[in-house]
Chains A and B, each alone.
Chain A
Amino acid sequence: MNIRKLIAYPLTAVAAAASSTLAFASPASAHGYVASPPSRQALCAQRAVPDCGPIKYEPQSVEGPKGLKRCDGGLSQFAVLNDNNRGWPARKVGDTVTFSWTLTARHRTSTWEYFIGDTRIAQFDGGNRQPEAVVTHQVDLSDFAGPQTVLAIWNIGDTPMAFYNCIDLDVRGGGTTPPTQSPTPEPTSTPTPKPTGQPSSTALPTNPGTPGQPGGPTAAAWAAGTAYRVGDEVTFGGERYRCRQAHTAIRSWEPSLFTLALWLPV
C-alpha cells in the first residue's frame, strides 16, 4: 500500500486512531480531471459516450508517472481513453479556451501542462502548493485551428505522479466564448434506466393529460431519467406515490423510506 493511494480524508486519521487495521484506502487512486470542456473521462462519467468501462465511475483516477503523452496515463483498465475511434464529440471552441478542473484530493502541485501532439502550448506553475478551490486555466489556441486533441496534465508536487486528460476540441477561432451548441448528446435522458416493466415512453409525467397526473386513474411506473414535477404521480412496487420535490429521477431516488423528501405514498 502506497501512502499516495490513501485517500487523504479525515477518515484516515480516525482509522489510524481507532484501529491500526482499518485504513480508508481508495479502491483506486483518485484525484482530479478536466471537467470543462469535457475530457474523455468526463464524457464517460457524464454518459455522453457509452461503454467506457470503469473510468465512468472514477474519471479522477487517470494517474501515471510524469512525462507520459497518453490519454490513459498508461493504465490498461482505462485504455478506452486512447481509442480515437470511440466517437468522442469535439467541443467547438474559440481562440481562447478556459479549462476547468474537478479535484477530489488537493495535492500539492508542481505544474499544469497542456500539449497538442509534442508541442507544449501552455504551462501554469502550481508553486508546490495546494491548488486553489476552483482551478481554471485560459489557454490560447489561435495557432491550432481545426480539430485538435489537447492533452492536459496535472503534475503532482510531492509524488512522481501526474494526472492525464485528453480533450477533443474543434478550434474555430474568432472568440473566447464557447458556442452554446454542442455535439454532445443530451445526457440528462440517459442515466442508467432501472427496469420498470414499462417502456420509458409511457413514463413522461411532464406531458399534461398523461397518466401520472394527480387524481388520474393510473400512474406511470417510476423511471430513472424522467423529470418529475411536484404533484406528478408514479407507481413503484405496486404502490402509488406523489412527487413533493421536483427532480430528475436517478438510481436510488426511487420511492423509499430514504426518499420521503421526494416521494410520499398517496
Chain B
Amino acid sequence: MRRATRAVAALLTAVGAALWMAGCGTSSSTSEPPAPTPEAVQISTAHNAADVMYLQMMIAHHGQGLELVGLAGTRAQQAEIKTLAAAVQATQDDEVTVMRSWLDTWSKPAAVDHDPAAHAEHGGLPATGPEQIAALRDAPETDFDRSFINLFVAHQHNAVEMSQWAEEKGENPEVRDFARRVRESRADQIAQLLAYLNN
C-alpha cells in the first residue's frame, strides 16, 4: 500500500509538471496537453549486478515479445487477442523506455553482449528465439491463434521467472517494484490468453 501511494504521488508530480509545461508552451486553449512520458519514472542510485542484468535481459526479452504481439496485431483471428496484443505492445514499448532510461541513469549499456546459443549447453532453450518468431510468421491462418498463444504464454512465463529472480536478488527498490509489476501483469495476461485459447 505504501508503494502504491508513493507511485501515485510520483505520477501526480510528473503529471503536474507536464501540465505546467504544456501551459507555458502553447497558446491554444482547446488542444490536449502533451501526454506525460514514461521517462519521468525516476530511479534511485543504489543497485547491484542483478538489477542491471534484469533490466538488460528484460529489454532483450521485450524485443522478442514485441515481435510476437506485432504479428498478432495483424494476424490474430479473435478480436480479444488483437486487443490484448495491442495493449501489450503499447505498455511494453513504454516499459522498454523506462528500463533504458534507468540503465542510462546508472551509465550502464542497454544491450547485453552474449552468445545467443550459450544457454543451449544447459540443456534447454528459452521459449522465444528467432525460430519461434519465424514459425509464428509462417503459421497458417487457421493455426495462428493457437500458435501465438502457446508461444506468447511461454514467453510471458519466462518474464515471470526472470522477475521472481529480480525481486529476490535485486537491490534497487524501483527495479524490484517494477519486477513485481511485470510478474503480476504477465501472470494475468497468461490467464486471459489461456481463456481465449480454451473458451
Asked if A115 CB lies within 8 Å of chain B CBs, one says: no
| Nearest-neighbor residue (CB-CB) of B50 within chain A | A22
Whether A260 contacts B94 by the Cβ 8 Å rule is yes
One of A72-80, A143-151, A180-188, A211-219 at the interface: A180-188
Residues of B within 8 A of A60 (CB): 154, 157
* B contacts with A: majority SS: helix
Whether B150 contacts A258 by the Cβ 8 Å rule is no
Residues of B within 8 A of A184 (CB): 195, 198-199
Whether B123 contacts A158 by the Cβ 8 Å rule is yes
CA distance A216 to B95 in the complex (A): 31
Give how many B residues have a beta carbon under 8 Å from the other chain's beta carbons: 85
Chain A contact-residue range equals 35 or more
Taking a contact as CB atoms closer than 8 A, the residue among B87, B120, B154 that contacts A247 in the complex is B87
Asked if A169 CB lies within 8 Å of chain B CBs, one says: no
CA distance A256 to B178 in the complex (A): 12
Asked if A102 CB lies within 8 Å of chain B CBs, one says: yes
| Nearest-neighbor residue (CB-CB) of A108 within chain B | B123
Taking a contact as CB atoms closer than 8 A, the residue among A8, A48, A245 that contacts B120 in the complex is A8
Taking a contact as CB atoms closer than 8 A, the residue among A91, A159, A239, A253 that contacts B123 in the complex is A159
| Nearest-neighbor residue (CB-CB) of B118 within chain A | A13
Whether B91 contacts A253 by the Cβ 8 Å rule is yes
Q: Shortest distance in angstroms between B31's beta carbon and chain A's nearest beta carbon?
A: 14
Asked if B21 CB lies within 8 Å of chain A CBs, one says: no
Which residues in chain A, 10-27, are within 8 Å of chain B measured between CB atoms?
A: 10-15, 17-19, 22, 24-27
Residues of B within 8 A of A108 (CB): 123-124
Also in contact, A252 and B185, with CB within 8 A (given A10-B119, A102-B153): yes
CA distance A244 to B77 in the complex (A): 23
Most buried by B among A17, A224, A252: A252
Q: Which A-B residue pairs are the 9 nearest by beta carbons? A: A133-B135, A250-B188, A261-B90, A247-B87, A13-B118, A105-B124, A46-B194, A8-B124, A251-B184
